[in-house]
């Protein structure tokens, strides 16, 4: 995908922005649509047809809902048609081989997998189109009468392939009337650069450490090294995914759109509940509004509440990937959230915050080990290494070697995982004009240095895919 390559960063974006700013307002959506389709087609041109199909289905069903506005049964039928088509497309491309493999395993069958390539970002844009249809049925948004504007909303390249999941209600007004302010463009550029720095200088380097440790022979890594590897993957995933969201939000601002925040320093959480208020916020809120609440939420007794939570977290895990480790990962969090709600949540609140931080981080790190291994044997082996049950020592020389070689990136990642930057920015805002000016100049110089360093890293490694592209 172009978002992970040198051509995108140094050719696609500038050309898009220059042309976008040059054309009259009435042509801006057309320019945005053109570049969004080029962006998506760059890596997989055949799947442009899939996007046209999905958007046409939702657009037509939306118009039919409007046409039969007074007939509730017909409106519901068109909603069901829209949702059924979206889920069928998602299931066919993402879960067909998973279901075939599961069936073969259960019944000793030999059905040949389809071997379909997964359309990049299909989980994200499918949820966006479904949110439009459901909100339209609920009469929370007006019908979109211009198909090209609707296609622009779904295909908008900044957030197309890895979120945040932007609902139609958020950008409906801006699709028709948006003001592109100079200060917003500047803030968007800085936000985009923050994401770029996080991706290249932290996520990729933490990922390199994880890959080195993961490649060690089973049982050869000490317990400390195994935990360090799990922490490295956690940091890689957080900084990689939040970097994409930063870049998407920054690009949105440069184009005149206000995309929702997707992360709020989740690794600073004090509980699992707190973590999921801060991690992938747009996905959590999507499942809350379109699955959990319609099922009854916590309003129909304890047993129904437990059922609803397990359904939501089963689906959350399955949304992330067609493999049993993702299902296990989802249920892992579902059970932990139930336990926090009904067993130890109140006791946890009475503990010092540092205890809550340690508790939450340990659970998250263990959870992401489940997340990363789709081979159950490898998953079990890595857990044995973490627990010291694989005949490995507790503390090996390789642990200190990895720690010393990656000390800078690990220290930066741990510090930046907490809201240090907003705290510092708030202090500067309260200071005098002289300090503000000095801080601004220092920040600009820092950004310039980091940009040069980032370009140097990119030149040596031009392929930098985001982890969530696979979903």
User: What pLDDT does 3 receive?
Assistant: 46
Same structural domain, 161 and 227 = no
Of 178, 200, 223, which closes a domain?
Answer: 178
Of 178, 203, 222, which closes a domain?
Answer: 178
Beta strands in 6-49 (DSSP E): none
Contact 263, 279 (CB under 8 A): yes
Q: Is a pLDDT exceeding 70 seen at residue 90?
A: yes
Q: What's the whole-number mean pLDDT along residues 231-258? A: 94
Q: What's the whole-number mean pLDDT along residues 355-369? A: 96
Same structural domain, 246 and 163 = no
| 251-293 pLDDT tens trace | 999 999 999 999 999 999 999 999 999 999 999 999 999 999 9
CA-closest candidate to residue 315, choices 296, 338, 288, 336:
288
Q: Is a pLDDT exceeding 60 seen at residue 6?
A: no
Q: Is a pLDDT exceeding 60 seen at residue 462?
A: no
User: What pLDDT does 430 receive?
Assistant: 76
Same structural domain, 167 and 191 = no
Q: Which residue has the higher pLDDT, 132 or 159?
A: 132
Q: Distance between CA atoms of 360 and 317, rounded to whole angstroms?
A: 19
Give residue 225's domain range.
184-470
* Token pair recorded at residue 82: 């829209």
320 carries an active-site annotation: yes
From 25-29, 116-120, 283-287, the region with the lowest mean pLDDT: 116-120
Q: What's the whole-number mean pLDDT along residues 160-175? A: 86
User: What pLDDT does 103 receive?
Assistant: 87
Of the pLDDT bands very low, low, confident and very high (cuts 50, 70, 90), residue 4 is very low
From 7-11, 231-235, 340-344, 386-390, the region with the lowest mean pLDDT: 7-11
Same structural domain, 149 and 96 = yes
Q: Is a pLDDT exceeding 70 seen at residue 43?
A: no
Q: Is a pLDDT exceeding 70 seen at residue 304?
A: yes
- Identify the sign of the CA torsion 296, 300, 305, 308: negative
User: What pLDDT does 10 receive?
Assistant: 67
Q: Max CA-CA distance within the chain? A: 74
2, 62, 189 from 259: Cα distances, Å = 21, 23, 14
Q: What's the whole-number mean pLDDT along residues 324-334? A: 96
Distance, C-alpha 263 to centroid of its chain: 9
User: What pLDDT does 409 receive?
Assistant: 95
Of the pLDDT bands very low, low, confident and very high (cuts 50, 70, 90), residue 300 is confident
User: What pLDDT does 176 receive?
Assistant: 86
Of the pLDDT bands very low, low, confident and very high (cuts 50, 70, 90), residue 160 is confident
Q: Distance between CA atoms of 442 and 13, rounded to whole angstroms?
A: 26
Same structural domain, 172 and 258 = no
As a three-state string, the secondary structure of 417-470 is CCCHHHHHHHHHHHCCHHHHHHHHHHHHHHHHHHHHHHHHHHHHCCCCCCHHHH
Same structural domain, 221 and 359 = yes
Contact 263, 245 (CB under 8 A): yes
Query: Any alpha helices (H) in 108-222, and if so which ranges?
Result: 122-137, 147-155, 168-176, 182-197, 204-214
Question: What is the percent of the chain where pLDDT is above 90?
Answer: 62
CA-closest candidate to residue 20, choices 30, 12, 28:
28
Q: Distance between CA atoms of 282 and 180, rounded to whole angstroms?
A: 24
How many domains does the structure of the chain reveal?
2
Same structural domain, 125 and 252 = no
Same structural domain, 194 and 299 = yes
Same structural domain, 210 and 276 = yes
User: What pLDDT does 468 receive?
Assistant: 55
pTM, 2 dp = 0.91
Of the pLDDT bands very low, low, confident and very high (cuts 50, 70, 90), residue 159 is confident
Of the pLDDT bands very low, low, confident and very high (cuts 50, 70, 90), residue 201 is very high
Mean pLDDT of the chain: 89
Same structural domain, 252 and 112 = no
Same structural domain, 133 and 272 = no
Of 178, 207, 241, which closes a domain?
Answer: 178
Listed in sequence order, the residues at least 6 apart from 333 whose beta carbon sits closer than 8 Å to its beta carbon are 272, 276, 313, 316, 317, 367
Q: Which residue has the higher pLDDT, 456 or 22?
A: 22
User: What pLDDT does 2 receive?
Assistant: 41
Q: What's the whole-number mean pLDDT along residues 389-415? A: 91
User: What pLDDT does 345 receive?
Assistant: 87
Same structural domain, 164 and 280 = no
Residue 118 phi/psi, 5-degree rounding, is -85, 120
| 403-453 pLDDT tens trace | 999 999 999 999 999 998 888 878 777 777 778 778 788 888 988 998 888
């Amino acid at each position: 995908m172009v978002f992970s390559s040198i051509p995108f960063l140094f050719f696609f974006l500038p050309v898009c922005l220059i042309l976008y700013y040059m054309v009259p307002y009435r042509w801006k959506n057309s320019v945005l649509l053109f570049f969004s389709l080029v962006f998506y087609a760059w890596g997989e041109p055949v799947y442009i047809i899939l996007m046209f199909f999905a958007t046409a289905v939702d657009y037509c069903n939306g118009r039919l809902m409007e046409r039969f506005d007074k007939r509730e049964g017909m409106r519901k039928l068109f909603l069901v048609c829209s949702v059924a088509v979206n889920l069928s497309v998602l299931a066919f491309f993402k879960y067909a081989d998973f279901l075939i493999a599961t069936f073969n395993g259960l019944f000793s069958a030999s059905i040949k997998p389809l071997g379909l390539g997964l359309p990049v970002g299909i989980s994200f844009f499918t949820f966006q189109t479904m949110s439009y249809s459901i909100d339209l049925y609920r009469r929370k948004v007006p019908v979109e009468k211009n198909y090209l504007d609707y296609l622009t909303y779904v295909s908008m390249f900044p957030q197309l392939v890895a979120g945040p999941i932007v609902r139609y209600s958020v950008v409906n007004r801006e699709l028709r009337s948006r003001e592109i302010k100079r200060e917003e463009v500047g803030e968007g550029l800085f936000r985009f650069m923050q994401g770029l720095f996080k991706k290249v200088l932290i996520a990729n380097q933490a990922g390199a450490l994880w890959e080195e440790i993961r490649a060690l022979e089973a049982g050869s890594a000490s317990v400390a090294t195994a935990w360090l590897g799990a922490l490295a993957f956690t940091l890689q995933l957080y900084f990689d995914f939040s970097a994409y969201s930063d870049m998407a939000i920054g690009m949105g601002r440069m184009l005149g759109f206000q995309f929702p925040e997707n992360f709020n320093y989740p690794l600073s959480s004090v509980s699992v509940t707190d973590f999921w208020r801060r991690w992938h916020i747009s996905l959590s809120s999507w499942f809350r509004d379109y699955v959990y609440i319609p099922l009854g939420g916590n309003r129909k007794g304890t047993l129904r509440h437990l059922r609803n939570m397990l359904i939501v977290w089963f689906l959350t895990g399955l949304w992330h990937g067609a493999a049993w480790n993702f299902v296990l990962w989802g249920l892992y969090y579902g059970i932990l959230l139930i336990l926090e709600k009904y067993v130890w949540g109140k006791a946890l609140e009475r503990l010092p915050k540092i205890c809550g931080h340690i508790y939450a981080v340990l659970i998250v790190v263990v959870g992401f080990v489940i997340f990363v291994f789709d081979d159950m044997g490898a998953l079990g082996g890595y857990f044995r290494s973490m627990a010291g049950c694989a005949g490995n020592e507790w503390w090996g020389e390789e642990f200190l070697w990895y720690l010393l070689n990656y000390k800078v990136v690990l220290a930066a990642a741990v510090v930046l995982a907490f809201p240090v930057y907003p705290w510092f920015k708030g202090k500067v805002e309260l200071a005098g004009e002289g300090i503000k000016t000095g801080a601004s100049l220092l920040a600009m110089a820092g950004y310039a240095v980091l940009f040069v360093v980032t370009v140097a890293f990119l030149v040596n490694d031009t392929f930098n895919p985001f982890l969530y592209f696979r979903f």
